[in-house]
Structure 1
Amino acid sequence: MGAIVALGLAAYFLQPAFQSLSLQIVLWQRELHRALTLAISDWVALLSISFAYGVFHAAGPGHGKAVITTYLASHDNTTRRTAVWMSAASALVQGLTAIIVVTVLVVGLGWVTRQAMGSVYWVEQVSFAMVTLLGGWLCLRATKRLRKPDTHHCCSSHDNEQVPTDWRSAFGVIVSVGIRPCTGAVLMLGAALLLGKFMLGVAAVLVMSLGTALTVSVLAILSVYARDWAQRWAVSPDGKSHQLGGWIALIGGVIIMLLGVSLLLASGSQPVTSPLLNTPPLRGL
């Protein structure tokens, strides 16, 4: 428990530095997005800048990282490999969602890109609602775990019956995070379509997803390392590690649920924004 308190205090005192870094990352992200539109005629430059944009986009503020890292940090049956494939899958789903939105609305229905951007708001609401439901479900699972007697007293092994449930919860994290498309990707696809280079834009979005996956994977792995470190210091000699894991999972579920609710409430007064619309993006992966 002391290790958990120490981590909380460190996060509190380092918060101003993290906020300053986040602001600088947003400014870099805006400049990279402008460079994307200028480089769209040069496929090598476009793909290179797309990758860099994905890296910095993921390093900036966003609810996806918070959901993934909270889930990994609060569930002791996840591994570093799980962290990598969940991060990669979430980034890929996010990129594919942007491609689908532009293909259906702009290519299929003839909407302009700005109209397609407006539709992102509703997809965003679905994403936030799913995050809220996911948090509630994780709380329910944690409560059942706390009520279940610990008969194995082992913090390194898990019942086989947990595996299907864990895959379902991981899938829920991926979908709830990934279905919210990056507004920068939507705008870039719209610009590529206007220039008659839509497939190049699709390739750029996929490369962008690769950069996003790289950054989120690093953050996710760090959260797993932090969780494992805290567990080594918090293991109880009286067989209470099962209960401790259940309480941590419950706290993680509550955090995810509150995050979803706060995003739903805040999004009503905050329009979909993007660097190309002269407003720094505040949400994303």
Structure 2
Amino acid sequence: MRLALVIGVCGLIVLALLMVPDLSGLAHWAVEQQRAFQNEMAGAVRGLRAGNPGATAALLTAAGAYGFVHAAGPGHGKYLIGGVGVGSRVSMARLLVIAVLSSLAQAAWAILLVYGGFALLEVSAQSVTTLAEDYLAPASYLVIGLIGVVLVWRGLRGLARQRTSGHDHGHDHDHDGACCGHAHGPTPDEVAALGSVRETLALVGSIAVRPCTGAIFLLVIAWQMDIRAAGAAAVIVMGLGTATLTGLVAVSSIAARGMGQASASRFGAAARIGPALQILAGGFVIWMSVLFLGGGVW
């Protein structure tokens, strides 16, 4: 009964945290803002090519703003960052680092894909866009789904371990089983699991593998107008704009996890809150991955 109550509380927290950003009004606003900032970037690029003063600043400002509103719109990065924050014991500082690294890696990958494709392979702009949307995007969604599976599996394993131990004390204290012969929660290794280098790279790579379409658009124009350094700089700033929004999601997810833990303590099921959150967050990540793969997300 206590576990069911805790899962219900956690479910409400996860849904409130991760579903609110997808309200239709916000979605339409984000799309309109992206279009407006994309037009501003195109104008700034033309101004830069013509040598207009202030064009560089205008380009960087529009790119950063585009990155922020792009992250608020359709995209998987914020869902994965939020799901990991809710469903793991990763620290806020580490999750913020992951959010920034994933956004910057996404920007760097876009630069490599577009400029490298043009310079080394002589591919067309349409070929780059097709590669990103038809091949890299599904690969990214699959990796994200696998990360969700890992979260669910760890949560189920944690619950199974607690059942094997035979009881749930319902209290918080910091011992690893030395005094009563069993663990009262995740071991120190499990707590740090999502902070390992391997899993950090998996999180960053799953987000970065699909470059932003706005970044591709900007880089193509910059290449054609021979202002490639400015285009690359603007895409990096765009990545920082995206990181600002995903960083806010990271902070919110850590706060939501704390609320869940506090609620569990009140109901006397503190030891079970970690596995329950992992299962719920992992299930949400899997669900979003399936929706993206099926094209069911606006």
Give the TM-score taking structure 2 as reference length.
0.80
Is 1:37 matched up with 2:42?
yes
> Matches of residues 184-199 of structure 1 in structure 2 within 5 Å?
184-199=214-229
Is 1:20 matched up with 2:25?
yes
The 3-state SS of whatever aligns with 1:148 is: helix
CA deviations on 1:43-70 (whole Å, 9 max, x unpaired) are 1211111111111111222121111111
Output the amino acid matched with 1:200.
Answer: A
The 3-state SS of whatever aligns with 2:123 is: coil
Alignment partner of 2:204 out of 171, 174, 177: 174
The 3-state SS of whatever aligns with 2:295 is: helix
Alignment partner of 2:251 out of 221, 227, 233: 221
CA deviations on 1:252-277 (whole Å, 9 max, x unpaired) are 1122122222222228xx9xxxxxxx
Give yes or no for contact 1:3–1:230 (8 Å, CA) kept in 2. yes
Output the CA distance in 1 between the equivalents of 2:41 and 2:174.
46
**Corresponding residue for 1:254?**
283
Output the CA distance in 2 between the equivalents of 1:89 and 1:11.
22
Output the CA distance in 1 between the equivalents of 2:285 and 2:15.
20
Output the amino acid matched with 1:182.
Answer: C
> Matches of residues 98-137 of structure 1 in structure 2 within 5 Å?
98-121=110-133, 122-137=135-150
Q: Unpaired segments of 5 or more residues in structure 1?
A: 271-281
Output the amino acid matched with 1:29.
Answer: Q
> Matches of residues 46-57 of structure 1 in structure 2 within 5 Å?
46-57=59-70
Alignment partner of 2:187 out of 153, 159, 178: 159
Give yes or no for contact 2:106–2:212 (8 Å, CA) kept in 1. yes
Comparing 177-186 with 248-257, greater Cα deviation is found at 248-257
**Corresponding residue for 2:271?**
242
Output the CA distance in 1 between the equivalents of 2:15 and 2:93.
28
Give yes or no for contact 1:155–1:241 (8 Å, CA) kept in 2. no
Structure number, greater radius of gyration: 2
Output the CA distance in 2 between the equivalents of 1:39 and 1:165.
45
CA deviations on 1:75-126 (whole Å, 9 max, x unpaired) are 2x12221231121011011111111110222221111212211110211111
RMSD: 2.8
Change (3 A) 1:147 1:8: closer
Aligned sequence identity (%): 27
Give yes or no for contact 2:87–2:281 (8 Å, CA) kept in 1. yes
Is 1:209 matched up with 2:232?
no
Q: How many residues align?
A: 266
Change (3 A) 1:44 1:11: closer
> Matches of residues 21-100 of structure 1 in structure 2 within 5 Å?
21-40=26-45, 41=48, 42-75=55-88, 77-100=89-112
Give the TM-score taking structure 1 as reference length.
0.83
Output the amino acid matched with 1:115.
Answer: S
Give yes or no for contact 1:106–1:116 (8 Å, CA) kept in 2. no
Change (3 A) 1:87 1:139: same
Q: Unpaired segments of 5 or more residues in structure 2?
A: 1-5, 49-54, 176-185
Output the CA distance in 2 between the equivalents of 1:46 and 1:162.
44
Offset at 1:10?
6.0
Offset at 1:26?
1.3
The 3-state SS of whatever aligns with 1:235 is: helix
Output the CA distance in 1 between the equivalents of 2:137 and 2:22.
29
Output the CA distance in 2 between the equivalents of 1:69 and 1:189.
29
Output the CA distance in 2 between the equivalents of 1:232 and 1:50.
40
